[in-house]
Chains A and B, each alone.
Chain A
Amino acid sequence: MSTLLDVFGLGFSYGTREVLRDVKLKLFAGEVVALIGPNGSGKSTLIRNLIGVLRGIGKIEWEQKPLDQWRRRELARHVAYLSQNPLWEPGQLVIDVLRLGRAPYWRLFGIESPRDAEVVLGVAERLNIVDLLDRPMDQISGGQRQMIFVGRALVQEPRAILLDEPSTFLDLRHQVELMSLLRQLAKERNVGVLMASHDLNLAATSADGLVLLDRGTVVADGKAEEVLDPELLARVYGIEMERVLREGKPPIVVPRL
């Protein structure tokens, strides 16, 4: 497995408020890593630092090249990002949202190559959304919309996808579908997936590794068995937790009520 992302000693402050401190993180091709932690622990800020929208101190390397040496367009061909609440224009068609994923490949005047159209169609077929292509974004369900945005990220043909709480607005079925899709894509396309998540159990069951953030610091990094430690979680979240072990599967945790 090749290293896609290597973060070392990353720190970031909003003014005088320190949000990230000495963060260390790695992401390998083909693996799914979930970034967990309470509200305000710095998950979104970390992801925004990784794509260079926010600039902190420390080292961020994508494919062994420092982030500040990447040109924006070039980085967009290697790393895709899905925000917590992606926007679309009223009346915008599904196919137009997908096509926008090819923007890093467009020439001047936004001229597309035949390959751009091929990639869009290929992704639509892979995600079973071909019949949605001509529908306006306002007229499809929230679950379908999230699928379209994942599609836009795939259309970028990235080596890594960063997702900021992608399942927040989804019901249980769509959450599970999205997670299994991300797992499949990681294996099929050898893509590294890093997602911030609030749902510890969904993260534990669908990710290869977990990274637990607490007030801007990585306090645990590893398999679900190691990270989902009731004592550690109690300290981070401030509530008593209980671990439920499952035979041959990652453990899950529930609050002790």
Chain B
Amino acid sequence: MGGLIARRLAFMVFVIWGVTFVTFFLSRVVPGDPVRLLAGPRAGKAELAHIRDLYGLDEPLPAQYRRYMTDLLHGDLGTSFVTRRDVTSDIAAFLPATLELSGYALLLGFVGGLVAGSVAAFRRGSGVDAAGRLSAIAGLSVPAFWLALLLQLLFHTQLGWFPLGGRLDASVTPPPHITGLLTIDSLLTLNLSAFSNALWHLALPVVTLAAGVYGLMTRVVRTSVLDVLGEDYVRAAEAKGLTRWRVIRRHVLRNGLLPAVTILGLEFGLLASGVFVVEAVFQWPGLGSYAFNAIQAADYNATLGATLVIAIIYVFTNLIVDLGYLYLDPRIRYS
């Protein structure tokens, strides 16, 4: 067990190094010159050369990469060309908004998919099953940007039920920064009006982001619960005289939900890619928006920093998911 974790950690370091390597060189080859953007249209040759020298951009790429990695090992992600601040403090400022958004989206998609998938399996062939399957396909196949616009059009423009974007209304005083998650911070300070306002702003982006997770979950859970329902041990449990609910809970769901845990890692991937689009459409001041703007401005350090943080989160959650699976399935634990 300890050996397994050590091996996984070593592998993670390798993956994260790979991400920095690819992102570093990729961001340099895409068109766009940060120096020109920084200096403005009227800057002369000498000014451009000065800025290039200031940021070390006149050095050869391998030297730049070496310097970047050395700084990285000291916990320094460099300075953003656009915000002129440390990328580390930028990320600290933008990350909580993303964590809040994707946390709720994951929760909604995961729980929604669990319920829909199990109910569809238990009522196989019924109208409920058909509705579950249809909604799963829709959730998986509708592009996030389109769903986002559709929800904005219907629930903001037409019905006026939800705000167009942002985390809080301008008129609402944000709660003091404790965790950075507005719903948690407002609850901790018993600021119920800020809490409800934050939830109200979360609704549409969370639904948009949750759709893909919900679709994948529903399909996986439905298939796996159907498989388990046909297993002999379910029949054996019924033959013991257990109540139907007990059979479902202890035998069907315990086993049927194992694959759902496996794909949890995959769903983080879905979220991480969806979050860029959703944050852009809903003007959500999160890491996705930050990275989006950084890429557009060829802000190398900011792009790299944001990508690195997302990669680290992704790799860590996958490790946690694998360890959780180890706990849930004794066949793996003891082999």
Q: Do A and B bind each other?
A: no
